[in-house]
Structure 1
Amino acid sequence: MANPRRGEIEAVLDGRPRTLVLTLGALAELEAAFGADDLMALAARFSQGRLGARDAARIIRAGLSGAGERVSLEAVEAMRAEGGAAGFARIVCDLLQATFGEGENPPPPQEG
C-alpha cells in the first residue's frame, strides 16, 4: 500500500496495483535521461506539461524502480493502464505531484 507522506502513489498497471515513488536515485536517473543539470531544472521541465509517451514511460519506470520493482523501459512501454493513454497521463501527473507538488489533494486533470 502506498504511503503518500513518503511521496508514494499507487497505480494499476497490467491489472495489478503497484507502488511508485521517485527516490533520489530515481530522480538522478531522470536527470540523466532528460539532460537536466539539477532537480530544479528537472522540475521546471516537468512543469511545462509537455511530455511524450517515452517520457511518461521513463517516469513510470523510475517510479517503479524507486519502489523496488526493477523493470526495463521496454517492459513499461508494453504495460497497460486503466483508462489507456489518459490513465498513463494520470499516473505521471500523480507521481510528479507527489514528488514536487504542494498540498495533499491535487486537482484532477482537465478532460476535454
Structure 2
Amino acid sequence: MVNPHAGEVALVVNGERCLAKLTLGALARLEERLETGSLMALVERFEGGTFSASDVISLLYAGLAACGWEGSEADLAEAEVEGGPMMAARVAARMLAVAFVVPGDGNDAV
C-alpha cells in the first residue's frame, strides 16, 4: 500500500507494481546525476513543463532504487511503464512533489 505521507508513489514497471520514494540519499544522487546545481532547478523544470525524458527516467530510477528496485537506470529506460510516458512523467512529478510536502502545511493533497 502506498503511503503518500512517507513520500511514496506507485508505478507499474514491466507488469510489476513498484513503490518509489525520494529519500535524502536518493535526492543527493539525483542532484549529482542531473547536474542541476540544486533540486529547485529540477522542481522548476517539472513545474514549468520543461523537463526531459531523461529527467523522468532519472527521477523514477532514484525513487525506485530507494525502495529496493534491482534494475538499473538503463533497464528502466527500456522497461514498459503502465500508462506510457505521460503516466511516467505524472508519477515522477508526484514523487518530486510529495518529497517536499511538510505534513500540516496545507499542501497535503498535492
State the TM-score bracket (shorter-chain normalisation).
0.7 to 0.9
- Could you tell me which of 100, 103, 109 is aligned with 1:105? 109
- TM-score in terms of structure 1 length: 0.80
Question: What's the counterpart of residue 7 of structure 1?
Answer: 7
Question: What's the counterpart of residue 71 of structure 1?
Answer: 71
Map 1:1-80 onto structure 2 (within 5 A). 1-80=1-80
SS of residue matched to 2:80: coil
- The structure whose RCO (Cα within 8 Å, separation 6+) is larger is 2
- TM-score in terms of structure 2 length: 0.82
Q: Which runs of 5+ in 1 are unaligned?
A: 107-112
Q: Aligned-pair distance for 1:48?
A: 2.9
Aligned-residue identity in percent: 35
Q: 1:86 to 1:40 in 2, by over 3 A?
A: closer
Q: Alpha carbon RMSD of aligned pairs, Å? A: 1.9
Report the number of matched residues. Answer: 106
Q: 1:40 to 1:55 in 2, by over 3 A?
A: closer
1:81-112: CA deviation from partner (whole Å, max 9, x where unpaired): 12211121121122112113572333xxxxxx
SS of residue matched to 2:91: helix
* Contact kept? 1:43, 1:100, Cα under 8 Å: no
Q: Which runs of 5+ in 2 are unaligned?
A: none
Q: 1:80 to 1:24 in 2, by over 3 A?
A: same
Distance 2:87 2:46 in 1: 18
